[in-house]
Amino acid sequence: MIRVIFFFIFLSICVGFGLWISGQPGSFIISWGDYEFQSHLGLFFTFLLLLVILFSSIWLFIRWLWKIPSILKHALKVKAYKKSFKLFVQSLEAYSSKDFSTAFKKIRAIPSRIKDPGLFFWLESKIAKESNDLKLSIECCNHVIESPSSAFLGYHQLIKIAFKQRNYDKALSYLNKAQELYKNNPWVLKQSIKIYLKQSNWNPIHRSLKNLSAKTEEEEIEKNLLYAILTYKQALDKNITTGAEKLKLLLYAINYDPGFIPAIESYAKTLQENKKDAHYQKLLEKTWKIKPSLNVANLYIESHLKEQPIERFKAAQYLLKLAPYSTESYLIVIQSAIDANLKGEAKAFLKRALDKNIFPENAFFVKVLKACLQKESYLAHENLWIFLRQSFEKNEWQCTECDYFQEEWFIECPSCQSLLQYKLKSIF
């Protein structure tokens, strides 16, 4: 395009120069043997300009003819890419709708002459993985990592397959290779940290966390949680012999993430054992504001005199004041009111929770609470209430991969062996 513009600029200059010459006086004579040609100067330059234009046009035409093979080759290449990406999109749509047979058919119809097929092999590996054909998925990933532009996608998929197979040694080898190619990649570092936490290998975790960048607030929170888990695990290490060192590490964990329940529980129990009740209650109140849970609530309630249910009810009311929109807050208050035989207060708090949509109307425990709060049927439902109360003593930890749950917090799920895939199980 630039060459064309310059050509027209040059042409304009020549035309202008020719017009200027044509207005000047003078003539010229050309003699060749017996022939003689006499003409006006302007006419001569006009003729010369036409010759320049003619030869320039011929040159451009010859150049265009010379480029025809490469133009055709490029057009065929573009056509092949368009066809390939059309099939790729169709395969992706079939994959999204779980139609794996169609997805396989479309992805394998992509022409083999594509120069960089890494992206297509990557999609085929994902389809194979979802179809539980892990062998084919790994084969496709090995093709993907051969392409520099898509190598990370290949390693990403291989690592996920290794995690699915619970082959963490293999996953770590892939992670190390990915780390060599993509230094300090956040996702690679996080997956490495999971495996090192399982192995209680502290030094690599410290290095990985040091190199882990946190550009957003969410990433900073996640990084602090990993630090909290690390220091908590170190506090539970058998090599930690002194109570002071254990307390120091637990405090580090809490400072990194004040809502990390396992560290809070361990630290709070240690404070209680050392008769530091004031520090104990302040710690639990601070945690409750950040992350209300039945675990924290029951530790807090238990710190008040068991033989004085009214005091425990007042403590539960204070927790409700600290977290007024929490399901756990209302549940603890109602539970404490029933234990203190304050049926009227329990009914009032239950009604308030239902009016504010904090409790779902049709929840099983709501029906039990309503039944227990009827004077004539309380004794009939007393055993059911005792069972329900026991189930509300703690939030259980649930695996997000297989839904297994247990009271103790875990790094590796005892059922499916997935790593750091946990959440506090909802009471609903």
Average pLDDT of the segment spanning 361-380: 69
Res. 369: pLDDT tops 70 = yes
Q: How far apart are CA 244 and CA 242, in angstroms?
A: 5
- Is residue 179 a contact partner of residue 188, using CB atoms and an 8 Å limit? yes
- For the chain, the maximum distance between any two Cα atoms, rounded to a whole number of angstroms, is 140
- Is residue 84 a contact partner of residue 111, using CB atoms and an 8 Å limit? yes
| Residue 370 token pair | 């309503």
pLDDT at position 240 is 67
Residue-wise pLDDT for 108-127, tens only, equals 777 554 566 777 788 888 88
List the beta bridge partners of residue 114.
none
pLDDT at position 227 is 93
Res. 346: pLDDT tops 60 = yes
Residue-wise pLDDT for 212-230, tens only, equals 988 888 999 999 999 999 9
Domains and CATH numbers, the chain: 215-289 (1.25.40), 292-395 (1.25.40)
Banded pLDDT at 60 (limits 50, 70, 90): confident
pLDDT at position 269 is 78
Whole-Å CA distances, 415 to 40, 249, 329, 400, 405: 103, 29, 31, 11, 9
Q: Report the sign of the C-alpha dihedral through residues 316, 319, 324, 330, in that order.
A: negative
